C-alpha cells in the first residue's frame, strides 16, 4: 500500500504512545511568538495579546475523506493542515498554531507515520504555524486524523459569513473544480491499475488537477492582499464543499439572496478539457466539486475598482434581497435555483 515507503518497517509497539509522539514531533520547534509552550505539558500555552483568537477543527477518516491507495501519506498530512488553515484565512485571520490528533492501526509502520508527519511539518513550516499538541491512539480499523487550528486577528479585521449586503459583489479567488477532477483522474487510474498493474499511466496532462487534489494550498496570500488593497470583505467563507453550497452559506448567514453567473465562474483550461473527456458538465463540477480551498467573499460595489485588475479575483455575481432568492444565471440567460449539491459527508454511505 505504501508504494514509496522505505524498506524498513518499524512496529508502532516499539515506541508506545509517549515515545511515538516524542519521536514524531522531535523536529517541531516553537517559532511563533504567540506560542509560549508547545508540546510537552498537559496543555499548550498561547499568547494572543491584543488579538482575538480564532479556532476551527476538522476530522478526516480513511475510506471516507481519503484513499491511501492514491493519496501518499505525506500529502495527506499536508492537505489535512491546509483544510484547517483555509478556515482561518476565511475569517481574514492569520493561523498561529495547530494541534494534531490521530488514531492508527498497527498495520501502519512507524515509517508511514513519519511520512504523515513530514507533510504536517512541511505545511507548518511553510505557513508559519506551530504544532503545539495532539493525541495519539490505536485504531482497530483505519486512519483517523483530527486537526484543530488556532489563529489571531485584530477584531476590526475579522470577516464573518454574515455581513453581506444587498448589491455587494460576490467574488472568488483562483479557479474552481480542479481538485474534484484531479480526484476523478486518480480514481480512474486506480481502476486501470487494478486491471493491469503494469500499466504506466501518462498523467502529464493532469498535473495541475492532481496537484490541486493531492497538494492543495490554503490562500494565505489573500488576507495580506486585502490589507494592501485596502479592501475589507463584507462576508467570507472558504470553498471546501463546492461553490454552490458555500454561496448558500453566505446568503443564509447574511439573510440575502444572490445572482451567480455561470459564465463568470473561473475554470482552468485543464478542468474544461478533462470535463469533456469524462463527459461531465464543468459548471456542475465547479458548483459542487469541493476541496478547492479558494476563498469566496463579498465586497461593496464601491470597492470594485480596488480589485478589478487583480488576477487573483473573479467577480461571479452579486447579492440581492433575501426575498429575491438564490439563483444561477446560465449561459443561456436562464434563471435556475441555486441548490447545494456539495459533498455531504453524512450521505456518503446511504
Binding annotation for substrate: 65, 291, 343
Cβ neighbour number for residue 202 with a 10 Å cutoff: 7
Q: Does 24 bind a second copy (CB under 8 A)?
A: no
For residue 247, give every residue at least 6 positions away whose Cβ sits within 8 Å of its Cβ, in sequence order, or none: 170, 258, 260, 296, 317, 326, 338
Count residues contacting a second copy (CB under 8 A)?
A: 76
Sign of CA dihedral 194, 286, 174, 218: negative
Is residue 70 within 8 A of residue 63, CB to CB? The reply is no
Q: Does 101 bind a second copy (CB under 8 A)?
A: yes
Minimum gap (Å) between residue 304 Cβ and a second copy:
24
C-alpha cell at 88: 482561518
Q: Give the max Cα distance, the chain.
A: 64
Closest to a second copy by CB, 127 or 206: 127
Minimum gap (Å) between residue 255 Cβ and a second copy:
13
Closest to a second copy by CB, 133 or 289: 133
Is residue 306 within 8 A of residue 229, CB to CB? The reply is yes
Q: Which of 2, 5, 10, 15 binds a second copy (CB under 8 A)?
A: 15
Distance CA 88, CA 57 (A): 10
Closest to a second copy by CB, 43 or 302: 43
Distance CA 231, CA 75 (A): 33
Minimum gap (Å) between residue 346 Cβ and a second copy:
4
* Segment near a second copy (CB under 8 A); pick from 45-53, 115-123, 187-195, 223-231: 45-53
Cβ neighbour number for residue 227 with a 10 Å cutoff: 12
Cβ neighbour number for residue 23 with a 10 Å cutoff: 16
Closest to a second copy by CB, 99 or 283: 99
Minimum gap (Å) between residue 241 Cβ and a second copy:
9
Q: Which of 66, 78, 102, 180 binds a second copy (CB under 8 A)?
A: 102
C-alpha cell at 152: 489571531
Q: Which of 9, 31, 45, 335 binds a second copy (CB under 8 A)?
A: 45
Ranges within 125-184 binding a second copy (CB under 8 A): 132-142, 144, 146, 148-151, 153, 155, 158, 160-162
Minimum gap (Å) between residue 34 Cβ and a second copy:
9
Q: Does 304 bind a second copy (CB under 8 A)?
A: no
End-to-end alpha carbon distance in the chain: 27
Annotated binding-site ranges for Mg(2+): 42, 56-58, 87, 135, 238, 241
What track of x and - describes contact with a second copy for positions 46 through 75 (by CB under 8 A)?
A: xxx---xxxxxxxxxx-xxx----------
Closest to a second copy by CB, 225 or 272: 225
C-alpha cell at 286: 465547479
Sign of CA dihedral 165, 168, 172, 176: positive
Which residues are 295's β-sheet partners? 238
Minimum gap (Å) between residue 166 Cβ and a second copy:
21
Ranges within 316-345 binding a second copy (CB under 8 A): 344-345
Residue owning grid cell 504567540: 34
Measure Cα distances from 12 to 19, 72, 124, 201, 246 in Å: 10, 19, 24, 34, 40
Backbone angles phi, psi at 151, to 5 degrees: -150, 175
Q: Which of 105, 273, 284, 310 binds a second copy (CB under 8 A)?
A: 105
Q: Which of 91, 112, 218, 285 binds a second copy (CB under 8 A)?
A: 91
Ranges within 210-269 binding a second copy (CB under 8 A): 236-238, 253
Minimum gap (Å) between residue 187 Cβ and a second copy:
17
Amino acid at each position: 500500500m505504501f508504494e514509496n515507503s522505505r524498506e524498513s518497517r518499524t512496529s508502532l509497539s516499539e515506541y508506545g504512545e509517549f515515545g511515538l509522539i516524542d519521536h514524531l514531533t522531535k523536529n517541531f520547534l516553537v517559532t511563533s511568538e504567540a506560542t509560549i509552550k508547545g508540546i510537552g505539558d498537559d496543555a499548550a500555552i498561547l499568547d494572543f495579546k491584543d488579538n482575538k483568537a480564532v479556532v476551527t477543527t476538522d476530522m478526516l477518516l480513511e475510506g471516507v475523506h481519503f484513499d491511501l491507495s492514491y493519496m501518499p501519506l505525506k500529502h495527506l498530512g499536508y492537505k489535512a493542515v491546509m483544510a484547517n488553515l483555509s478556515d482561518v484565512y476565511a475569517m481574514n485571520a492569520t493561523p498561529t498554531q495547530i494541534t494534531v490528533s490521530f488514531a492508527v492501526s498497527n498495520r501502519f509502520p512507524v515509517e508511514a507515520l513519519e511520512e504523515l508527519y513530514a507533510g504536517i511539518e512541511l505545511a507548518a513550516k511553510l505557513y508559519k504555524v506551530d504544532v503545539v499538541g495532539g493525541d495519539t491512539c490505536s485504531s482497530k480499523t483505519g486512519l483517523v486524523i483530527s486537526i484543530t487550528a488556532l489563529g489571531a486577528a485584530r477584531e476590526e479585521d475579522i470577516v464573518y459569513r454574515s455581513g453581506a449586503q444587498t448589491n455587494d459583489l460576490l467574488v472568488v479567488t483562483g479557479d474552481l473544480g480542479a481538485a474534484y477532477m484531479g480526484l476523478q483522474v486518480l480514481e480512474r487510474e486506480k481502476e486501470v491499475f487494478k486491471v493491469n498493474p503494469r500499466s504506466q499511466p501518462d498523467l502529464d496532462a493532469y498535473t495541475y488537477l492532481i496537484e490541486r487534489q493531492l497538494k492543495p494550498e490554503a490562500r494565505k496570500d489573500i488576507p495580506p492582499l486585502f490589507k494592501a488593497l485596502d479592501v475589507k470583505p463584507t462576508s467570507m467563507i472558504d470553498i471546501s464543499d463546492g461553490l454552490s453550497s458555500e454561496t448558500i452559506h453566505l446568503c443564509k448567514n447574511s439573510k440575502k439572496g444572490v445572482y451567480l453567473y455561470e459564465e463568470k465562474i473561473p475554470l482552468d483550461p485543464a478542468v474544461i478539457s478533462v470535463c469533456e473527456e469524462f463527459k461531465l458538465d464543468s459548471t456542475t463540477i465547479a458548483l459542487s466539486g469541493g476541496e478547492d480551498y479558494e476563498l469566496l467573499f463579498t465586497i461593496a460595489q464601491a470597492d470594485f475598482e480596488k480589485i478589478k485588475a487583480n488576477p487573483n479575483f473573479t467577480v461571479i455575481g452579486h447579492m440581492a434581497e433575501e426575498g429575491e432568492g438564490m439563483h444561477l444565471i446560465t449561459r443561456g440567460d436562464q434563471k435556475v435555483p441555486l441548490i447545494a449539491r456539495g459533498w455531504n459527508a453524512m450521505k456518503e454511505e446511504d
